Amino acid sequence: MSRWLTKRNFLIFISILIILFILIFILPVSIPIILALLTAMLIEPLVKLTETKFKWKRKLSVIVVFIFVLAVVAVSIYYITTSLIGKLIQFTKDAPNYLNKLSGVWIDIQSKMFHFTSGMPEDVEKTIKKEIDGVLNSLKESLIDLLDYNKILSLAAEIPNFLVSLIVFLIALFLFMLELPELKKMVYRHLTEKTAERVRFMTTRLNSVLFGFMKAQLLVSFIILAVSFVGLLFIAPKYAVIMSFVIWVIDVIPILGSIIILAPWSLYQFISGDIAMGTKLAILAAILLIIRRTVEPKVMGNQIGLSPLPTLIGMFIGLKLFGVLGFFIGPLIVILFNTAREAGIIKMDFKI
């Protein structure tokens, strides 16, 4: 027993406890800061390019690049928001017509059902009517639950937390962009030459992987945009441009993605009596879902050097542990582990 109670084993045990504490308690609340660091690393080549191209000092280069990135993001958000608000305003104007149309369709369905069940036994007729009423009540309760005051209030209560996280992210991003070279020097000062070489290898590998990750996400999103646009040109040409753009933006949401837009749209068409268009929209939703769930792991695997299986596993576990952001954090953790193994920091050549 005493041979296990060595200083080395004690340090390993303490290190494991610290790592578990960080993973369970520190990491979930540090996501804005971690994302700021990763974003700063991602933007670093652009800062260096600006320094070299214009012969500016680092502080000026960081300020210019930071403002440029913020401007691009702000313009994109403004365009998306104004487009969505415009469509929502138009929808609220057309809502009474839609409701009247749905009421007419429902009255027509009821009359057809009454006509269909008129010749049936009384018990069968009551059962069918009871089932229909049950479905309607379920839909009604689902809508009431969706628009529940407490849920809306809790969602609104999260807005201040989101704004605080956004402010922390922006401030941390700017500071990381300024201090990144000094942070690297500080880390390397505490490393031996051999370990420093391994860390440089990991940093270089992670930089290329981060670019590959972003490239893969853009590539998959453009495939979704193209398929959505082409599909909607045949299904609903009038809304092809704006709806394909909305689907493209919403599709970033893991698991659901384009289903959030296409499923209600398809259901509305079915209820309205346009079975053909409802079916086409449902098929398009299924195609987009298949593309996202099959093409994405393959493309990401090719771009970041992982096979589709660990990429998919990393996405799923990350999603379960960290929510939406875990969809991106999961593969990055797998990448970090593989990079550390390639650099020789983590060794997996044991046998049992």
pLDDT at 258 over 70: yes
Residue 2: which H helix or E strand, with range?
A: none
Confidence of residue 145 (pLDDT cuts 50, 70, 90): low
Measured CA to CA in angstroms, residue 148 lies from 95, 160, 268 at distances of: 20, 20, 22
Question: Which pLDDT band holds residue 314 (cuts at 50, 70, 90)?
Answer: confident
**Would you list the DSSP string of 19-85?**
HHHIIIIIHHHTHHHHHHHHHHHHHHHHHHHHHHHHT--HHHHHHHHHHHHHHHHHHHHHHHHHHHH
Q: Considering Cα of 257, then 259, then 264, then 265, what sign does the dihedral take?
A: positive
What is the tens place of the pLDDT at every residue in 33-47? Answer: 888 888 888 788 888
pLDDT of residue 197: 80
| Residue 351 DSSP SS3 | coil
**Residues 6+ away with beta carbon under 8 Å from 102:** 271, 272
Tell which wins on pLDDT, 347 or 283: 283
pLDDT of residue 153: 66
Phi, psi (degrees; rounded to nearest 5) at 346 = -110, 130
More confident residue, 157 or 225: 225
From the list 218, 203, 173, 220, the residue with the least C-alpha distance to 335 is: 203
Please compute the mean of the pLDDT values over residues 223-243 and round it to a whole number.
85
Neighbours of 197 (CB within 10 A): 13
Give the CA angle between residues 107, 113, 117 to the nearest 5°.
150
pLDDT tens digits along 285-312: 888 888 877 776 677 666 666 666 776 7
| Alpha-carbon gap, residue 331 to 324, rounded angstroms | 13
Higher local confidence (pLDDT), 205 or 222? 222
Residue 143 above 60 pLDDT? no
The number of angstroms, rounded, from the C-alpha of 330 to the middle of its chain's C-alpha atoms is: 12
Give percent of the chain with pLDDT exceeding 70: 65
**How confident is the model at residue 4, as a pLDDT?**
63
- Contacts by 205-211, CB closer than 8 A, 24 or more apart: 205/339, 205/342, 205/343, 206/41, 206/335, 206/336, 206/339, 207/41, 207/44, 207/45, 209/304, 209/305, 209/335, 209/339, 210/38, 210/41, 210/42, 211/42
Residue 2 has pLDDT above 70, yes or no: no
**183-210 pLDDT, tens per residue?**
888 888 877 887 778 778 777 777 777 7
pLDDT > 60? residue 68:
yes
Dist CA 86 CA 17 (whole Å): 52
Beta carbons within 10 angstroms of residue 301's beta carbon: 19
Split at pLDDT 50, 70, 90, the class of 147 is low
- Model pLDDT, residue 141: 65
Q: How far apart are CA 171 and CA 78, in angstroms?
A: 21
Q: CA angle, corner 231, sides to 277 and 274, nearest 5?
A: 5
pLDDT in tens, 86-123: 666 666 666 566 666 666 666 666 666 666 666 666 67
This model's pTM is above 0.85:
no
